Amino acid sequence: MSSAVSPVEQPQQLRREFTLWSSFAFAFAFISPIVALYGIFGLALSAAGPSFWWGFALVFAGQFLVALVFATLVSRWPLEGSIYQWSRRLLGTTYGWFAGWVYMWTLVIAMATVALGAAGFLANIAGLEEPSGGTLALIALGILLAGTAVNLIGRRALKIFMIGSIVAEVIGSVVLGTWLLLFHRQNSLSVLFDGGGVDVDLWSWMSGPFLLAVAFIGWSFVGFESAGSIAEEVHEPRRELPKAVLFSLVFIFLVVAYSSLAIILAIPDLGAVADGEVADPVSETLTSALGQGIAKPVEVLFVIGFLASFLALQTSGSRVIWAYARDGALPGAGTLVQLRGQARIPVVAILVTTVVGSALFLLSIVAGDVYSLMVNFTAGGFYLAFLFPLLGFLVVVLRRRWTPASFSLGALTVPVAVAAAVWTVLQFLNIAWPRVAFEQRYLDWSVWIGIAFLAVLGGLILVSVRSRISAPTDE
């Protein structure tokens, strides 16, 4: 049959090579506990002191409600593209298109952000002191190209790297945390109950510093939904994916909360950290406790965690692009949807993420502090993307039009749907609220700037492809 046949007329078939274990490893690596902890620890500690630790429990509780809804949705519709596919089947094509559009860009921007984060570690391991933005961008580009190569090889290489990542995470998080607790404890558990100190009442602390810390922590507990992004590559997805979504979130919470507790109790001088005198409390604590000779190899474990997170983000982003293309929902869909090689990999979609990531690195060199802009947007972007299927599910459930699949919440469906939607709205507003946090005021508006840009660009693209988009089915 001619390759000119549209993707809508001739759907491309992915190969199912992922199991429950590998889909769990994928979701786990997506928001690596090492990445989650290192990315937010210093920010949250500076914002609210050691008592920020309780924010992990709060964010986990809210995100577990979201995960229950997503497990319900992926059981009903185990389709590549997850949030995009669920949303369009809940409230229609236009609604779903914008849901996936936000999710797709959030994934690709987060991918570039994680590569830049890994570049900092690699520069430090290589002995580069205070590398320039251009140097970090070049290192990140090397990471991007290497990750792309792994993704193009096939799913087996991806699975091997993900399993290696989990081993690194266990050593780098759980074993190291246990060692710190047993032999390098500097502070008592009472520091977790200090709040804002004697000069700040509990309400002022919770409504100010603690909420800011919760906004930072929100970035630590996304990624569990990514198991659904590869749904059509998983064996028995209706049965296995709800488990992968829920188990990955629970495991990430346990590892991050445990490791964070260990580091808090091992910090030599909490006062210096609170005063901003210690720029990197995680690295400083590890070096103080373990010595420079051991701290360097630990940073190698950190790099592995960052690289695994990068790979999972790139894979998820490319699969959302591919899912759009299969529906004829993007320009060039006929090319983007093609699967290449024996492994049936969406090569062009993967290369698109590589091109966009490279453009973001170039922009970071030319335009200055784009990294902060990207970090700020991705946290809000994930929660905004989550809102689309959550609100769609709530509408359908309240209209009594929901038909459950193998995984069902039963009588708890309505209360869980309401609570998950309310939580996500509040957390999105908490993250997106333009607090004065940067010298450049526009960075405080990062989320809203990103939303406005994507809304305009997305609207223009949707108008150009709307007539070619295939109607969703219930399969």
- Name the CATH topology of 18-466: Amino acid/polyamine transporter I (1.20.1740)
CB 350 within 8 A of CB 148: yes
Per-residue pLDDT, 28: 83
| 332 C-beta neighbours (distance < 10 Å), count | 11
3-state secondary structure labels for all residues of 216-260 = HHHHHHCCHHHHHHHHHHECCHHHHHHHHHHHHHHHHHHHHHHHH
Per-residue pLDDT, 471: 82
Confidence grade of residue 3 (pLDDT, cut at 50, 70, 90): very low
Positive or negative CA dihedral for 260, 263, 269, 272?
A: negative
- In sequence order, which residues have a C-beta less than 8 Å from that of residue 119 and are 6 or more positions away? 136, 137, 139, 140, 143
With 70 as the cut, is the pLDDT of residue 332 above it? Answer: yes
User: Average pLDDT in the 189-198 region?
Assistant: 76
User: Average pLDDT in the 51-57 region?
Assistant: 93
Span of 174-183, 203-212, 399-408 with lowest mean pLDDT: 203-212
With 80 as the cut, is the pLDDT of residue 408 above it? Answer: yes
Per-residue pLDDT, 135: 87
Cα–chain center distance at 456: 24
Looking at the chain, the whole-number percentage of residues with pLDDT higher than 70 is 94
With 60 as the cut, is the pLDDT of residue 198 above it? Answer: no
d(CA 192, CA 457): 45
d(CA 17, CA 315): 14
Question: Which residue has 């492994």 as its token pair?
Answer: 343
User: Average pLDDT in the 407-431 region?
Assistant: 95
Per-residue pLDDT, 422: 97
With 70 as the cut, is the pLDDT of residue 450 above it? Answer: yes
Per-residue pLDDT, 301: 79
What does the mean pLDDT of the chain come to?
A: 86
Confidence grade of residue 7 (pLDDT, cut at 50, 70, 90): very low
With 90 as the cut, is the pLDDT of residue 117 above it? Answer: no
Confidence grade of residue 199 (pLDDT, cut at 50, 70, 90): low
Tokens of 301: 């474990």
Per-residue pLDDT, 416: 97
Provide the residue ranges of all domains of the chain, joining segments of one domain with +: 18-466
With 60 as the cut, is the pLDDT of residue 259 above it? Answer: yes
DSSP codes, 368-426: S-HHHHHHHHHHHHHHHHHHHHHHHHHHHHHTT-----SS--GGGHHHHHHHHHHHHHH
User: Average pLDDT in the 10-35 region?
Assistant: 79
Confidence grade of residue 10 (pLDDT, cut at 50, 70, 90): very low
